[in-house]
Amino acid sequence: MSAPIVVVDYHKGNLLSAARGLAEVGGEAEVTDDPARIAEAAGVVLPGVGAFEDAMAYLRQSGQDEAILSAIGRGVPFLGICLGLQLLFERGDERCDGALHGADDPERWAAGLGVLPGSVSRLRGRLKVPHVGWDQVHLTPHGRVCPLLRGVPEGANAYFTHSYALDEDVDPLVVTCRTHYVRSFASAVWRDNVYGVQFHPEKSSAVGLTILRNYVDLVRGGGR
């Protein structure tokens, strides 16, 4: 690779686990907050740290949002992890003030990157939230042909830690995996060069390493 895989640093927590996971499968990864480095990267990983509205505010203020969109636009393999998956969508209801707004309240939503249509909303139900620990990912027909998930068996266990998830308005044609906790939600997506997973592959043992290895192959041009 002439340029490294970039792990986007949006100043919201420890991002090194994603970089270490990529290094473990032979990927050259650089953690950076520099929009120029993000825009010119061979691959872009947006990891899962922080809250939706807060993260988007930093991405916009820093210019990282435009750099990410530029990289995606030129066909760079993009991988969003946890919050990084959620930020790909049009809107989320995780606000900085922590307030819970009604379903019809226009103040409910914060705007995301808008790469994919749909919403992110809080998990609400009788089960404990946040959803933390190992859970199954169920492949859709789209998932069974997804290069990121090559070698991942149906019903594989992956590690989750989140309170928000993709909502029902997400296009089913981009959904590669579903997970059932509180409600059935899309736990992985794929469209063109854009991939996202709600779980943490860097914490998901052999299954996670398989996914990260597939991603590195995509960056190197061998995954499609």
- Dihedral angle of Cα 192, 197, 201, 204, to the nearest 10 degrees: -140
The 10 Å Cβ neighbour count of residue 96 is 12
Region of residue 13 (left: phi > 0; alpha: psi -120 to 50; beta: else): left
Alpha carbon of 119 to those of 50, 79, 86, 89, 127: distances in Å? 17, 18, 8, 6, 21
Residue 66: is it exposed, middle or buried by C-beta count within 10 angstroms (0-12/13-18/19+)?
middle
- Residue 152 is classified by DSSP as P
Active-site residue, selected from the candidate residues 94, 131, 177, 202: 202
Active-site residue, selected from the candidate residues 82, 94, 131, 146: 82
Let me know if 200 is a catalytic residue.
Answer: yes
Alpha carbon of 1 to those of 21, 36, 163, 216, 220: distances in Å? 18, 17, 36, 10, 6
Catalogue the active-site residues.
Answer: 82, 200, 202
